Structure 1
């Protein structure tokens, strides 16, 4: 614990919080890296959809993706409502992004 004694629980808590926050920051960085990769794939999808005249919103695909990630989250013990909300927001952003570029 970096030399902090149990006699100072607040100082010890600050050290532990700083370590946990650094872990969260590193995970956030990884998530941003994954979003960068995801948007690059969306750009490829845009080309395909534009050439084939396919709309941005494909409701059956939305439900397929949400069901798949929620099942994975459920199996790992993650809150399904968190996963559902995050993916629906991510998908809606993607649909909006595609719609702006498919015109």
Structure 2
């Protein structure tokens, strides 16, 4: 727990541990995004405003429940979503060119 850390090094070790866990989760999420891109047939499908709004609403609500700044969480998710949209569009477009 954070309160049990007595030095900066103690805190850094825990942050590094959490960063590795986040990377593992982002890698898992990325595999699902890749699969979604394989399922979609049109690059325009990558940008779904209704789905994005629902995800952002859920992230903001869950952030508040975790005592996390909801604006910060939204910024992280919007960045992630924007990257995923471009990634999906690239995969879909490349597949369509190859067909």
Normalising by structure 1, report the TM-score: 0.80
Moved over 3 A (4+): none
8 A Cα contact 2:64 2:70, kept in partner = yes
Paired residues, what number? Answer: 87
Q: Give per-residue Cα distances to partners, 1:70-103, cap 9 Å, x unaligned.
A: 1000111110111110000000000010111111
Structure with the bigger RCO (C-alpha within 8 Å, sep 6+) is: 2
Aligned Cα root-mean-square deviation (Å):
1.2
Q: Give per-residue Cα distances to partners, 1:15-68, cap 9 Å, x unaligned.
A: 710010000000000000001000100111112112xx4611001001110110
Q: 1:1-103, aligned counterparts within 5 Å?
A: 16-50=7-41, 53=42, 55-103=45-93
Which is greater in Rg? 1
